[in-house]
Chain A
Amino acid sequence: MSLDLDFDDAQQAVAEAVASFCAERCPDEQIRKGEAFSRDLWRELAELGVLAIGTPEGEGGALEQAAAFESLGRAVFPGPLAATVFAVRLLDGPEQARLAAGEALISVGEPPLLPFAPLADRFVESDGESAWLARAEGEVLPVSTLGGEPWGRVRLVRERELGDARDALAVHDTMLAAWIAAAGERIVADAAEHARARKQFGKAIGEFQAVAHPLADAAMALASARTLARRAAWTIDRAGLRAARRPGAVARHAATRAARAAAHIAHQTFGALGITLEGPAFHVSRRILQAAAQPPGETRAAEVALEGYALEGCAA
């Protein structure tokens, strides 16, 4: 069999099921108000099996998970999505099962500033290379963030070493890339719709190349990033986590760059409208910016992308 870059029927079905779940349970109006996340919603998402992939109970592979994350990204679905996928790959037994079932909420990163800390049941301290299971000591100081996620300042006490985190990071990076590329494509599609409708100087602003070209450039870079994420997921399924470290890092690096640029261009297209709190762009761009700076390992992606240069090239 030669290359084939389409999702198969099963992967397509996952993408559609997750998309309709998002449309029903997490509609745009709610996202815009910044009130979308709840523990109930998180459990319902977990019931779809999206977080359990890679556990003994899980069904499907990384490609199914990437298909789901693309749909989640397009809906800018809230919650510690990539962090959970990361922790699920590091833990086992009942701890893993509770995370995969959406019963426990995880916070992953490096203290003191940690995502979802005020809501988290468990903590994983990780720089993307090593990881420890940890608990909070003392009070969690809530921090509100650009992306609208509940973060917190906290002191962690390491409980147990979880070992090398780089394989888990491959899954994390792959799914984060799928989510963020799709979120980027969503904001470009929204901006393009605006550019078709909004008239200035007697014509649609999309007729001006100063508006059209940056959007076209963004669409191209995001399509690249989405395909790179799919390739990383395929690598996980076909060759295992270790082999996917570099493709995962490449996908993440490409996706965060492309989506950040797309968010900027979308705001330029929407003008002042985009700067309003409940307007057409901010509820998506804020999440893109937040996800793009997400721990663990956001500073390491470009480095990991270089891995293997001593041994093999990127040509084949």
Chain B
Amino acid sequence: MEFGWSAEELAYREEVQRFLAETLPEDWEELSKGGPGSEAQAAFSREFCAKLAERGWLTQSWPAEYGGSDASPWRHAIFGEEMWGHGEPRGPQYMNVNWIGPAIMKYGTEDQKRAHLPPISEGRVLWCQGFSEPEAGSDLVALRTAARREGDVYLVNGSKIWTSYANHADFCILLVRSDPDSKRHRGISVLLCPMDLPGIEVREIPSVVGERYFHEVFFEDVRVPLDCRLGPEHEGWDVVAYALQFERVGAARYHRAALILDDLAARAKARGVFAEPRVREGLGRARALCEAARLLTYRVIDQRVHGSPPSADTNAARIAATDAEGAVADLAVEVFGADALEYGSWADTRFRWAMTAGVAVGATEVQLNLVASRLLGLPRE
């Protein structure tokens, strides 16, 4: 058993930190306030990710044949922690690296790999994910956006919702119902849909976090070429299930929560409330939750290193990260009292982002369902 990083890994983390210190602009804190979907951050990500690509870091965990260097999942985790710890300067591009690229590697044709993988590994393309619909949220397989074959295209009609980054994206990994007579998991296909096709309209939905976080995307008689389909027709659910295993622990939210907690402790001292029992109790508890979330995520990475099949431990890790982030945000509000209410203040920003944790990539309740059925063997309704 080993809980410590190797000298090489520690040196790598320092190297990434040095690079970030040199590369992030002085006003990064302010610039990143709008979130990864903001105009400023999306634009910055193209420039920033190209620099990561030059160093061979952006897709280092990928196989060499696709522009990676077969780096270990641990190295990729260190890299991801540092990125999230610094407000995710990759912007939306973390998704490309963590799961869209790997899904294309596993299910893509040679042409698709040639077309999509180099731009991702070079850091010059933005993707969004077209999953949720107004009537298909947690119950994703209720999706209805239709793709009807017509000659050499799919004619796509319907709408997607809560789509982050849709305003900037070059492509959308789009879930559609390709068999109109199908139900639930069968009859779904995945399309690698260019976002500049005629008939696609993107509307922003104002949200409590950042600018341009949410969008609604409408498809009206959009003609998507047949060769944009990823994986077998009508069997797209397998592609999604594969991709989501990467997504749930892809964002190192626990690391960001831990850093924020450190910052909060310093701010509590500055405000003179650090010695109060309720603050100390809250800090101790939040710290234990942050460390728990980190270790549960490491268990998932460890399983991947050992080649174990994906398990509901992934969902448990996600729940733990949500708990940790929530505890830190609650404490921030407690420490700052009424000052926390001011729009754009330090505590306000943390609290707003923590609200997304239990909803993004599957509601906590859905994760609990999976833990209950897969880890505890409880029956499903």
Contact = CB atoms under 8 A, between A and B. Distances in A.
Given A207-B379, A219-B371, A224-B295, A3 B258 contact: no
Contact of B1 (A63, A192, A216, A225): A63
Given A3-B2, A196-B378, A207-B381, A250 B288 contact: yes
A57 to B, nearest CB: 24
B230 to A, nearest CB: 32
A12 B19 CA distance: 41
B302 A4 contact: yes
Interface in A187-240: 188-189, 192, 195-196, 203-204, 206-209, 211-213, 215-217, 219-221, 223-225, 227-228, 230-231, 234-235, 238
B296 interface: yes
A223 B381 contact: no
In terms of DSSP, what is the predominant structure of the interface of chain B? Answer: helix
Contacts of A231: 3, 295
A89 interface: no
B365 A209 contact: yes
Nearest to B259: A315
Given A1-B6, A3-B3, A228 B378 contact: no
A315 B262 contact: yes
B164 to A, nearest CB: 26
Contact of B284 (A188, A221, A305): A305
A301 B316 CA distance: 25
A253 B305 contact: no
A5 B376 contact: no
Candidate in A8, A11, A223 with the most chain B CB atoms within 10 angstroms = A223
B9 to A, nearest CB: 7
Given A306-B283, A315-B262, A2 B255 contact: no
A272 interface: no
B280 interface: yes
A162 interface: no
Contact of B280 (A227, A303, A315, A316): A303
Contacts of A189: 376
B183 to A, nearest CB: 22
A236 B369 CA distance: 37
A225 B292 contact: yes
A216 B367 CA distance: 9
Nearest to A231: B3
A212 B378 contact: yes
A20 B9 CA distance: 39
Contacts of B2: 1-5, 234
A303 B283 CA distance: 9
B379 A206 contact: yes
Interface in B322-381: 365, 368-369, 371-373, 375-381
A5 B292 CA distance: 14
B261 to A, nearest CB: 7
A275 B380 CA distance: 27
Interface in A287-316: 301-303, 305-306, 309, 313-316
B376 A219 contact: yes
Contacts of A188: 376
A209 B364 CA distance: 12
A254 interface: yes
B316 A314 contact: no
Contacts of A208: 381
Nearest to A67: B1
Given A212-B372, A224-B292, A227-B299, A3 B319 contact: no
B10 to A, nearest CB: 9
Nearest to B266: A309
A220 B1 contact: no
Nearest to B265: A309
A187 to B, nearest CB: 12
A195 B378 contact: yes
A224 B74 CA distance: 19
Contacts of A309: 262, 265, 283
A40 interface: no
A303 B368 CA distance: 31
Given A63-B1, A212-B368, A212-B369, A313 B284 contact: no
Contacts of B182: none
A2 B365 contact: no
Nearest to B268: A309
A24 interface: no
Interface string B68-112: 000010100000000001000000000000000000000000000
Nearest to A246: B287
Interface in A1-27: 1-8, 11
A238 B5 CA distance: 12
A309 B279 CA distance: 13
Nearest to A255: B288
A1 B289 CA distance: 27
A209 B369 contact: yes
Nearest to B4: A238
A196 B377 contact: yes
Contact of A221 (B281, B292, B381): B292
Contacts of A215: 372, 376, 378
A4 B1 contact: yes
Nearest to B373: A212
A234 B285 contact: no
A48 B285 CA distance: 36
A250 B376 contact: no
B95 to A, nearest CB: 24
Contact of A216 (B5, B280, B372): B372
Given A213-B372, A220-B316, A207 B281 contact: no
28 contacts: A1-B6, A2-B2, A2-B72, A3-B2, A3-B4, A3-B74, A5-B1, A6-B306, A11-B1, A203-B379, A204-B378, A206-B378, A207-B378, A207-B380, A212-B372, A212-B376, A216-B368, A220-B319, A228-B292, A230-B1, A230-B3, A231-B295, A302-B284, A303-B284, A305-B284, A315-B85, A315-B258, A315-B259
The 8 residue pairs across chains A and B that have the minimum distance between CB atoms:
A224-B292, A302-B284, A313-B262, A206-B378, A212-B372, A216-B371, A192-B376, A305-B284
Given A215-B376, A303-B280, A303-B284, 7 more contacts: A3-B74, A5-B2, A5-B295, A212-B372, A220-B316, A234-B4, A309-B283
